[in-house]
Amino acid sequence: MKSYVAEFIGTFWLVLGGCGSAVLAATFPEVGIGLLGVSLAFGLSVLTMAFAIGHISGCHLNPAVTLSLFASGRFPAAKIPGYIIAQVVGGIAAGGVLYMIASGGPDFNVADGFASNGYGEHSPGGYSLTSALITEIVMTLMFVLVILGATDQRAPAGLAPIAIGLALTLIHLISIPITNTSVNPARSTGVAVFVGDWATAQLWLFWVAPIFGGLLGAAIYRYIGSSSD
């Protein structure tokens, strides 16, 4: 149970830190943190939790990562359901806390998006479903490659959280204009359920694409990271 609780807490922090920065601070008058700040917030949330709970649960915080670690032979199948449930519930709990905080503001309107992921008219830059699909697949693929490489026994010890956190920051710098950046079904679900309507209607893409991309990343790393030539 301790690993499941750790995954709940870690995903809660990821969604509250990342989506919270987007909802509360991104466009705050005069001192808004903007796209760069939101990207850093997501990266820092993973980096801090990797140091805090990595030794307890592995700090997956993401169903796509959990399934990719299983596909790469590093995670047992029996723990998959518990991890994914803990991650999704943690994301929704964070969304609920964020909603309670944000709804106390004078200009809050959940219909504005609430940091939800989307495509088409709900993409920050108006990007199509195809663009969103490709982006989420490729970004999650690269994220999983970094995770698997940084946590490989042959990699420099103790530096994995930094590499993983910076990778997530870079991913957000690239893809926020396209989908608001998911690469994580739990992160997407955590806020989409409070928006409903279009956010839940488009949520399928932010489950399918990250999981597919993550599995591709796992397959690629099993090939390039194997000890044989």
Q: What is the pLDDT of residues 21-31, one digit of tens each?
A: 999 999 888 78
Q: Residue 187, SS3?
A: helix
Q: What is the pLDDT of residues 6-21, one digit of tens each?
A: 999 999 999 999 999 9
The radius of gyration of the chain's CA atoms, rounded to the nearest angstrom, is: 17
Which one, of 68, 43, 69, 49, lies nearest residue 5 by Cα? 49
Give residues with Cβ within 8 angstroms of 90, minimum separation 6: 7, 8, 9, 10, 11, 12, 15, 61, 186, 190
pLDDT (0 to 100) of residue 229: 57
pLDDT (0 to 100) of residue 46: 97
Task: Please list the alpha-helical segments (H only) found in 58-159.
Answer: 63-71, 80-102, 129-150
pLDDT (0 to 100) of residue 181: 97
CATH architecture, range 2-224: Up-down Bundle (1.20)
Tell me the whole-structure pTM to 2 decimals: 0.94
User: What count of residues does the chain have?
Assistant: 229
- Residues of the chain short of pLDDT 70, as ranges, are 227-229
For residue 37, the one-letter residue type is G
Cα separation of 191 and 92, whole Å? 7
